[in-house]
Amino acid sequence: MKREKFTVWDALIYLVLGLFCLSIVVAFLHLLNLSFSPSYIATKGGLLLLPRDVTLDNYAKVITNKYIWQGYRNTILRTAVGTVVQLLFTAMGAYVLSKRYFPHRTFWTFFIVFTMFFSGGLIPTFLVVKSLGLLDTFAVMILPGLISAYNLTIMRNFFQSLPEEIEESCMIDGAGRFRIFFQFILPLSMPILATVALWLAVGHWNAWFDVLIYISDETKFTLQIVLRRIIITGSKEILDTTASARSVSDEPLVSSEGLKAACIFVTTLPILCVYPFIQRYFVKGIMVGSLKG
Amino acid sequence: MKRKLLSCLVVLALLLTCLPLSLAAADEAPTKISVAGYMFGPIDNDLDVVTPAVEKILNEKYGLNVDIEVVYIEYSEYNEILNPRLAAGTAPDVFLAMSDTMLESYYDQGAIASWDVDFFKENAPDVCAFVMGGGVNGDLIDQVDKWMSAATAADGKMITVPSLKPDGSMPYKTLIMRGDWLDKLGVTDETLPKTVDDFVDLMYRFTTEDPDGDGEADTYGMSATGIKALFGAYGVYCGFVGGTSYWYEKDGEILNADVSDAAKEVVSILAKMYADGVIDPEFVTGSEAVAGSYWAISNGLVNGRFGASALASIDHFRLKDVLNDNGGPVAQEYWAVNGDDATFVYAPWPAGPDGDYGYCVGEAVAVSESAVYNAALNDDPEKLAKIFQIMNAFATDDELWTLAAYGIEGEHYTVAEDGRLVRNGELTNADLNAVGVWGCRSLYGADRAFSDFSYNTLFYNDPSIANRLNWFKKDQYNSYIQNAVTGVLPSAGDLQSELNTYRDETWISMIKGEIDIESGWADYVQTYMDLGGEQLYTEANEWYANN
């Protein structure tokens, strides 16, 4: 194969992409340095590309915080169980809908896609969750969003791109529906599974609103809820009139910017580590999935 | 055989006599009361020592057999979390109405309980006596009527128990200036500006005379909050930028400060200052704090970008000797950045042509953060009665209140030599919440019980309050501008935010010189009135006439 020449156009693309990457790295670097800095550095402001003063106090505080570890446990559990279960159900649903001989396929597809455009709203959803007895349970973090219409559509498109002959030859060899699905279709669909799994895992890792609304038992709080509480403490002035009625000592104690940065790091690090390993499937997965409508 | 039968009968008889007893005991299962008040973090049921202790005292001393369940609802998302629960019927028995608007809408929607004044008097006689007597030493006797009207709905039934606090109407914000800049310019405590002209002049000097001594023209006079000082000088308060409308009374008429002549005057001054580079262009954000960080830290003031700010209070800039601690939270940041011997100055509010000055102040009677009670309690008046009896117990029993608000002596607080209660400095507010401190907060009132003791502890005997009050006694350090309309205007929900945006955009354009103030002001007022200002004006005057 002839090697293409490196043109000015390529250089420009590299430059733009390089700058884009830099803008992300700089933010991370700033945060990292901030997390190792005593609190006054943050008040001083400015960009921290090199540490001006190093302390491990922030990390010591984060690591000794009981809620962080409890949150970690819940988040890991949620991410692991949630991703596996959701992936399984989404794949099964998508597989069925990808079969041309499935009766009323268009209707069922529309039935599912329809939900992408309309949502029930917060309170009706809450009522449903409540009447299902899911409030304050671990399952509430997984079941209400078990199958996302978007992921299902993407997966369905991928399955449709697989040659139907595979299924036929499997059947001739005597494989049943489940064997075909688990032993042939799924292994062939690694790119899309990895892609959707990454979306789901990141989504679970970052999710906080459902916990905020549905969970009141603090032992089930996930990492993001704990992080949120630490980050927003004291950042908002309560209404003028009540501010005067409250003495300063009664306000939420300020968590220092360094502590916030350390928290952010401790909570984002795991997902950052996972990303590069699954990311290579990303492009492949989406591209193939998008071929056919 | 006979003996066996007899013994069997005896056992049976014994069992039978025990039966009613055990049944009676089952009848007396504690009444479960769930309460979601103002909290800094969740309560930790493993660590919670305070709530069981409170329950024990209530049971043994007052015969109130209750099981208090403290529900944590994150304060910053309080309504988002509470509203679905209200709709689903899983809301706690006691929760907060965050504002008078919320209170009214909860009652209109039938979400909260109501009761007769007599019912309250019957179950919480000491709370009533305390309020009707105007609080400690009758200090707030003139606020009693206001309290009553805030507590009751239009139909005369009580729907909440508002707080009645002398600190509510006490000035809060303070004008703070950089001490090193003032020194550099030779301004002493005696020569601090006391008039608008002198104040504006000082802002110009902050900009032009290189107060930070770095040889560069990189300083401004003031930013978003310094503007408030100018409004005060003309006798009004404006929410500009980002805040809501304030109303003032003139000759029996209620007027909107946003379309007042005073506002025009101030905007003209600001436009001139802006053109001369005296105002930090970042004022348009309406904020001086870095997004996400503590709201009271004026980043520009602390870092020497501008010299005057009215973002924080004297307490935030409290000196070390007031409480013999590390100083106020913002003062600590200021010293950390500028050095331990860096100084700041509490400055008097500049007075305008008519001698007005200051910032806005709140109300002694406040509905926000006072407790409301689940509508389900309408069907369970006994439980509601118990809740008020608990409130009464807190008002009469100082030890009980201390336990609930401060925790366990030696562990969570100590008693200082002068009798003050000092919290354990190693515990954060969230730590205190975890062990149950403040968990019963909404059962005893807002932040304090209706008792002399709790008021003295949190207000009258607090040296930082005394420090504030001492400063406010000085000439022009006080503030007194109050909103003339303290109720909710019916159309405010629909109109106010659009009006605020229109005001902010227009004024910013005027200040930046994009719109000529002299020729454009009349247009602005006209559009403002057409956009709904007229409607609010009518409603405000109706409200005023009825109150």
* 3-class DSSP state of B70: strand
**For residue A283, what pLDDT is reported?**
66
State how many domains chain B has: 2
Q: What is the mean pLDDT of chain B?
A: 88
Closest C-alpha to A101, from A177, A154, A172, A173: A177
Q: Distance from CA of residue A233 to its chain's centroid?
A: 24
What kind and span of H or E run contains A172?
Answer: helix A164-172
- CB-based contact A39 B333, cutoff 8 Å: yes
**3-state DSSP call for residue A259?**
helix
User: Which of A135-149, A191-205, B13-27 shows the lowest per-residue confidence on average (mean pLDDT)?
Assistant: B13-27
The more confidently predicted of residues A51 and A207 is A207
- Whether B290 is covered by a domain: the verdict is yes
Q: Which of B247, B294, B326, B424 to mutate to test the interface with A (most CBs of A within 10 A)?
A: B294
As a whole number, mean pLDDT of residues A273-279 equals: 78
Pick from A11-15, A251-255, A276-280, B366-370 the range whose average pLDDT is largest.
A11-15
pLDDT at A293: 39
pLDDT of residue B186: 94
CATH code for the part of the protein at A60-237+244-289:
1.10.3720.10
Confidence check: pLDDT of B25 > 80: no
Strand partners, B32: B67
Q: What is the pLDDT of residue A251?
A: 54
Domain final residue pick, B460, B482, B504? B482
Residue B33, helix vs strand vs coil: strand
B294 contacts chain A (CB < 8 A): yes
What does the pLDDT look like over B514-543, one tens digit per residue? 999 999 999 999 999 999 999 999 999 998
Tell me: do B92 and B147 sit in the same domain. yes
**Which chain B residue has the Cα nearest residue A38?**
B336
pLDDT at A249 > cutoff 60: no
Taking the CB of residue B52, how many other CB atoms lie within 10 A of it? 13
How many angstroms separate the Cα of B161 from the Cα of each of B19, B75, B83, B99, B165? Answer: 43, 20, 21, 13, 13
| pLDDT tens figures, B196-210 | 999 999 999 999 999
Beta bridge partners of A26: none
The CATH number assigned to the domain holding B68 equals: 3.40.190.10
Same domain, B234 and B304: yes
> Where does the pLDDT of residue A133 fall: very low under 50, low under 70, confident under 90, or very high at 90 and above?
very high
Closest residue on chain A to B317 (Cα): A248
Query: pLDDT category, A14, cuts 50, 70, 90?
Result: very high
> Cβ–Cβ of A235/B336 closer than 8 Å?
no
How many beta-carbon contacts under 8 Å exist across A and B? 133
- Decide if B404 is inside a domain: yes
pLDDT in tens, A51-110: 778 888 888 888 888 888 889 999 999 999 999 999 999 999 999 999 988 999 999 999
Q: Which residues of chain B does A236 touch, with a Cβ-Cβ cutoff of 8 Å?
A: 76, 295
User: CB of B328 within 8 A of CB of B315?
Assistant: yes
Residue showing tokens 């970052």: A206
Average confidence (pLDDT) over A19-28? 92
Task: Indicate if B41 and B157 belong to the same structural domain.
Answer: yes
Pairing of strands B253-256, B175-178: unpaired
For residue B26, is pLDDT > 50?
Answer: no
Please, what is the Cα angle at A240 between A238 and A245, to 5 degrees? 80
Return d(Cα B54, Cα B69) in angstroms, integer. Answer: 12
Position B540 scores a pLDDT of 93
pTM as predicted: 0.80
Give Cβ neighbours of residue B273 (< 8 Å, ≥ 6 apart). Answer: B200, B203, B204, B221, B279
Task: Compute the nearest-CA separation of B430 from chain A (Å).
Answer: 8
What pLDDT, on a 0 to 100 scale, did the predictor assign at position B264? Answer: 95
**Is the Cβ of B87 closer than 8 Å to some Cβ of chain A?**
yes
Side-chain-facing half-sphere of A278: CA atoms under 13 Å: 19
Check CB contact of B242 with chain A, cutoff 8 Å: no
Of B75, B332, B12, B300, nearest to B181 by C-alpha is: B300
Q: Which of B459, B482, B505 is the last residue of a domain?
A: B482
Of chain B, the percentage scoring pLDDT greater than 70 comes to: 95
Q: Which of B74, B171, B293 sits opposite A229 (nearest CB)?
A: B74
Exposure of B87 in the CB half-sphere (CA atoms within 13 A): 17
- Residues B203 and B347 both lie in one domain: yes
Domain boundaries, chain A: 16-55, 60-237+244-289
Residues B234 and B326 in one domain: yes
Is the pLDDT higher at B181 or at B420? B181
**What is the residue range of B74's domain?**
29-168+365-450
Nearest of A230, A266, A253, A257 to residue A38 by alpha carbon: A257
Both B302 and B323 in a single domain?
yes
Considering only residues A238 and B150, tell me which one the structure prediction assigns the higher pLDDT: B150
Q: How many residues does chain B have?
A: 547
- Does residue B142 lie within any of the structural domains? yes
Could you tell me which of B156, B169, B160, B166 has the C-alpha nearest to residue B98? B160
B187/B161 same-domain check: no
Alpha carbons B295 and B292: distance in angstroms, whole number: 8
Task: Mark yes or no for CB contact B294/A235 under 8 Å.
Answer: yes
With tokens 């007027």, the residue in question is B255
Q: How would residue B234 be classed by pLDDT, with cut points 50, 70 and 90? A: very high
d(CA A220, CA B439) in angstroms, rounded, equals 20
The residue out of B450, B470, B493 marking a domain boundary is: B450
Task: Return the pLDDT at B126.
Answer: 96
- B252 and B292 in a single domain? The answer is yes
- For residues B268 and B510, what is the distance between their CA atoms, to the nearest angstrom? 8
Q: What are B266-288's pLDDT values in tens digits?
A: 999 999 999 999 999 999 988 88
Is position B102 within any domain?
Answer: yes
